[in-house]
Structure 1
Amino acid sequence: MSKLADNLNTILQRIKELSELNQTSVRLIAISKTKPVEDIIELYHAGQRYFGENYVDELEKKSNDNLILTQCSDIRWHFVGHLQSNKINRILTRVPNLDCIQTIDSIELADRLNNNLQKQSKILNILIQINTSNEQQKSGIEQKDFLSLYEHIKLNCTQLICQGLMTIGSLDNVNTEDESDFQVLIQCRKELCDKYNFSINDIELSMGMSNDYERAIQVGSTIVRVGSLIFGVRH
């Protein structure tokens, strides 16, 4: 077994152990930014189907690579970076197998996506990104405003399927045991479920990366975004 496949299986085994303890289903998004297409193909053949990218240019290039198109027919791409309005058309028209945009953080972005999708008669899965640490340099809607965004999408954006909520942990907490960002997102899910009478199982939580995915699963994450633990350190 290759090193990449070995890394993947180690992560998947740990996810399985933790999710069984929590009696939850957890999905792994392998974050492949800066990594070559060959690595993605290797992991695809090892069984991984969900991959994530942070930049539209890189996602477009990789998703249209001839080897990806011919060898990875049911690959599923998640966009996990900040989406600029001027790149909406590109990501919707030039990325085969786009499964989800995890970073919707404004009414304007939701409307532009929805209008573009309407013209193509397409629907798309999304998550609402919440800035749980209130850091100026990070994207995401403020906690106090996320319900208004959800309601707007629910009432006005017929082409968007909002599956849940997403956060990127505090930049200061990368190497600490601080779970405050996770707890904020969990509280947001509770508010959403209380308002709309949803079960918590109806709302996905995308939180946890290479440094903290285990703790994220322990407190309720249903999607983890792991890069360097699988692909190795980025240069």
Structure 2
Amino acid sequence: MPDQPQPSLPSGSSVAERLAAVRARIAAAADAAGRDPGEVRLLVATKTQPAEAVLEALAAGVDLIGENRVQELVAKAPAVADRVADGSLEVHMIGHLQRNKINQVLATATGLETLDSLDLARAISDRCVRDDRTGDRALDVMVQVNVTGEASKSGVVPADAGALATAVAALPGLRLTGFMTIGARLDDTSEQTVRAGFARLRAVRDEVVASGAPGTAGATALSMGMTGDLHLAVAEGATVVRVGTAVFGPRPTQPAR
């Protein structure tokens, strides 16, 4: 698949205009892969963005946002609380989660995409059970898989992902929805290598879903692909792509407060 050019927008473009361009890229990538564009959700990554920018994105139709840092997740929570409460917005934690921040995430997020150990899963499950967050109120979680083998990236190795996912799916208070990865940097490697990593995640997902293990049948989501490589991720089956800078422009130098 040839590299997908990114549309050139004026520096003063609005968030709505940038969103439209991103959605057009997703649709073009899906069409090129013979997929229905409706199969791919856009998660808008709000790292370092102020609440005002996030609200502008919501006004333009965004229904799924993701935050990398717990501190920012908590700080922006009041601005989006009404949308979360009425079910029109999902908020996912897409950064590494430390055990001492579990309570804060459970109070503000509807999903966690970066579950990478059974110890962490058990700790979250215990908190969910304690708070009666089970059944229909269970926390949506994805298992993060490190498909590149880079030490700088979090996630379980692909060979262990199936066993972790099966164990997570059996825990009360957690609903396994799929798998997430951070691909290789397209600037540092070839499109073939990036696609191979995404294909590896898809293979992990397919194996788990086909296993018949309790709680795994619905774990079909694949959260992979960002601003620069979303076309490759869509070609390999992504159901969620995480985009930040293409929506908001260059990040502010200071974290949002």
Q: Is the 8 A contact 1:18 1:217 kept in 2?
A: yes
How many residues were matched structurally? 229
Specify which of 152, 158, 171 is matched with residue 143 of structure 1.
158
**Greater alpha carbon shift after TM alignment, 35-44 vs 175-184:** 175-184
Specify which of 118, 128, 146 is matched with residue 131 of structure 1.
146
Q: Deviations over 1:179-205 (max 9, x none)?
A: 121121012122213322899985111
Q: Is the 8 A contact 1:189 1:200 kept in 2?
A: no
Q: Distance in 2 between matches of 1:228 and 1:172?
A: 16
Q: CA deviation at 1:131?
A: 0.6
Specify which of 77, 98, 104 is matched with residue 63 of structure 1.
77
Q: Distance in 1 between matches of 2:35 and 2:218?
A: 12
Q: Distance in 1 between matches of 2:218 and 2:188?
A: 27
- Structure 2 unmatched ranges of 5 or more: 1-11
Specify which of 194, 197, 203 is matched with residue 210 of structure 2.
194
Residue 14 (structure 2) pairs with residue 3 (structure 1): yes
Q: Is the 8 A contact 1:26 1:224 kept in 2?
A: yes
Q: CA deviation at 1:121?
A: 1.0
Gap change, CA 1:176 and 1:228, over 3 Å in 2: farther
Q: Name the amino acid aligned to 1:39.
A: A
Specify which of 230, 249, 252 is matched with residue 213 of structure 1.
230
Please give the residue correspondences for 1:1-235 in structure 2 after superposition, counting only pairs within 5 Å.
3-20=14-31, 21-23=34-36, 25-65=39-79, 68-69=80-81, 74-93=88-107, 95=108, 98-122=109-133, 123-155=138-170, 157-171=171-185, 176-177=190-191, 178=193, 179-196=195-212, 203-234=220-251, 235=253
Q: Distance in 1 between matches of 2:83 and 2:110?
A: 18
Whose helix fraction is larger, Structure 1's or Structure 2's?
1
Q: Distance in 1 between matches of 2:70 and 2:188?
A: 25
Gap change, CA 1:199 and 1:159, over 3 Å in 2: closer
Gap change, CA 1:36 and 1:52, over 3 Å in 2: same
Q: Distance in 1 between matches of 2:14 and 2:101?
A: 35
Q: Aligned to 1:22, what secondary structure does the other structure show? A: coil
Q: Distance in 1 between matches of 2:217 and 2:233?
A: 16
Q: Deviations over 1:21-44 (max 9, x none)?
A: 313611110001001111111111
Q: Distance in 2 between matches of 1:173 and 1:22?
A: 26
Q: Is the 8 A contact 1:190 1:200 kept in 2?
A: no
Q: CA deviation at 1:114?
A: 0.5
- Structure 1 unmatched ranges of 5 or more: none
Q: Deviations over 1:207-228 (max 9, x none)?
A: 0000101111112100000011
Gap change, CA 1:173 and 1:182, over 3 Å in 2: farther
Q: Distance in 1 between matches of 2:216 and 2:125?
A: 26
Gap change, CA 1:192 and 1:137, over 3 Å in 2: same
Q: Is the 8 A contact 1:15 1:26 kept in 2?
A: yes
Q: CA deviation at 1:77?
A: 0.7
Q: Name the amino acid aligned to 1:12.
A: R
Give the share of equivalent positions with the same residue, in percent: 32
Q: Name the amino acid aligned to 1:5.
A: A
RMSD after superposition? 2.4
